[in-house]
Amino acid sequence: MSELVNLLSYTFMQRALLCGIAISFSAALIGVILTLKNYSMIGHGLGEVGFAALSLAVALNLEPIAVSIPIVIIAAIIIMFISQKKGESADIIIALVATGALAFGVIVTSFTSGFGADSYNYMFGSILTMTTKDVILSIVLTVLSIAVYVIFYNRLFLVTFDEKYAKATGISVSWYQFLIALLTALVVVVGMRMMGTLLISSLIVFPAIIAKKFTTSFKGLVIMSVITSIVCFILGIFVSFFLNLPTGAGIVSVYIVLLLISSICCKLAKI
C-alpha cells in the first residue's frame, strides 16, 4: 500500500491517470456506436494513420499533435464516406488505409530519425510522455463527447440501429457519420501517446464487447462500457508500472483477462 501511495505522488503518474481516465471515458462512449455499427476496427486503422502522421511531424520538426489531428480526421472521414456512399466494406477500406499509412510511416521513419526510443513510444505507448497539454486535451475531449451524447442521444441511437428509418424521419445521417468520425479521430490522436498507435483501438473495442455480455439496452451498454473502460485502465496502468510493461500492453492484458472471465461467467450462468 505504501508503494502505491508513493507511486501516486509522482507528477507523471497523476498526469497519466487524469489523461487515461478522460480518454477511456471518451473511447468507451464512441466505442459503443462503432461496435454496434461494425466499425470496431476503425480505431486500429486510424492508429496506424496516426503513426504515419507522427513520423511525418518528426521528419519535418513540427508539433506532432498539430500534424496528427487534421490527418487522422481526414482519414476517418474518408473511411466513413467511402463505406457509406460507395457501398464498400468498411473492413476493406480500413485495411487499405491502415496498411498504406503504416508503410508510409515506416518509410518516413527509416529515412529520417530511424526506429529509436521515440518511435517505440509512439507505437506502444508510454506514461512518461504525458504532459499538461495532454491532460487539458483529454478533459476537453471528454466534455465534448459527453455533450454530443447528451444533446444528440436519441438521434445517435437511431443512426446506430436503423439508418433508413433515421433518414425517413429527416435526420441527416451523413452529418452524424461525420460527427462520429470526428470524435473517433480525436480519441485516437489524444490517446495514442499513452496507449501507442498499435494498441489505441483496444480502448474503443474491448469495453463495448465486455459490456455487451451483461446488458442488452443501449443506455445500459453505454454506462457499463464506461465503467469497464475506466476500471480496466486504472488496473492496467498499475500492472504496467509494477511489472515494468509498456502502458498499452498492460492495459490490454487486463482487458483480455476480464473478457475471458466475463465469457466464462456468462456460460456458467446459462448452465
What structural domains and CATH numbers belong to the chain?
A: 2-270 (1.10.3470.10)
Who contacts 174 (Cβ-Cβ below 8 Å, separation ≥6)? 84
Of 24, 269, 13, nearest to 141 by C-alpha is 24
Positive or negative CA dihedral for 253, 187, 95, 67?
Answer: negative
pLDDT tens for the chain, residues 1 to 271: 666 667 677 777 788 888 889 989 999 999 998 888 877 778 878 888 888 888 888 888 888 788 888 888 888 888 877 777 665 666 778 888 888 888 888 888 777 765 555 666 667 767 767 778 888 888 888 899 889 888 888 888 888 887 788 888 888 888 888 888 888 888 888 888 777 777 788 888 999 999 988 888 888 899 999 999 999 998 988 888 788 877 788 888 999 999 999 888 887 776 5
Quote the pLDDT of residue 230. Answer: 93
Has this prediction a pTM greater than 0.75? Answer: yes
What is the amino acid identity at position 172? Answer: S
The amino acid occupying position 199 is L
| CB proximity list for 246: less than 8 A, separation 6 or greater | 124, 125, 126, 196, 240
User: Using CA atoms, how far apart are residues 22 and 44, in angstroms rounded to an integer?
Assistant: 19
Longest pairwise C-alpha distance within the chain: 60
Cα(41)–Cα(169) distance, integer angstroms: 29
213 contacts 75 by C-beta, under 8 angstroms: no
Give the pLDDT confidence score for residue 82 in this predicted structure: 79
Query: Residues with Cβ < 8 Å from 192, sequence gap 6 or more?
Result: 47, 50, 51, 54, 68, 122, 125, 200
Distance CA 182, CA 179 (A): 5
Contact 48, 254 (CB under 8 A): no
